[in-house]
Structure 1
Amino acid sequence: MIAFFVQIKCQLGKSYEVAGELADAEIASEIYSTAGDYDLLVKFYVPADTDVGHFVNEKVQKVPGIQDTRTIITFKAF
């Protein structure tokens, strides 16, 4: 499995709706509300043969209310 994070900037007033939509889709491992430039930090696990770019494009960015994303690829857990 590959673990990666996506920071999500939501349209104004849409953070809870976006978080709920991601939770309902059951594609995220963890969803956090954050302060700063992005509204949510979401952790995903996908099979090793999954194209992360396509996953984010097709499963995450299409959620209504998302304005921008930033993907963070992780390499090793300590």
Structure 2
Amino acid sequence: MITTIVMVSVETDRIPEVAQAIADLDGVSEVYSVAGDVDLIAIVRVREFDQIAEVIAGRLSKIEGVLHTDTHVAFRAYSRHDLEAAFSIGYTASE
């Protein structure tokens, strides 16, 4: 699975509608409304690199109200859950 993080700048008065339209796209797993330099962050998960262009350039960036996107492709994921699982192999809390 290929994960991309898409920073999305949106027309201010259209943020909720644009967020929902992005969330409804196939390949988009989550959309966050955020404070900072961008208005929304979308998490796109696809199986092949070609699908990144289809989802982002082909559909997401064409949604009315989207002004600009900045896409980052994730190489590797790290999380507390993953690290705890790796170090607790064979151990259960009931033991």
Q: What TM-score bracket applies, with the shorter chain setting the length?
A: 0.7 to 0.9
CA positional deviation for 1:28: 1.1
Give the letter for the 2:63 counterpart.
V
C-alpha contact 2:26 2:55 (8 A) present in aligned 1: no
Q: Greater RCO between the two (CA within 8 Å, min separation 6)?
A: 1
Q: Map 1:21-36 to 2 at 5 A.
A: 21-36=21-36
Gaps of 5+ in 1: none
Bigger helix fraction: 2
After superposition, the Cα gap between the structure-2 partners of 1:49 and 1:9, relative to the gap in structure 1 and judged at 3 Å, is closer
Report the count of equivalent residues: 78
Identical amino acids, percent of aligned pairs: 31
Deviations 1:23-77 (A, max 9, x none): 2334310110111110000001011242523431102101111001100111001
Bigger strand fraction: 1
After superposition, the Cα gap between the structure-2 partners of 1:36 and 1:77, relative to the gap in structure 1 and judged at 3 Å, is same
Q: TM-score, normalised by structure 2?
A: 0.73
State how far apart, in whole Å, the 2-side matches of 1:69 and 1:40 are.
10
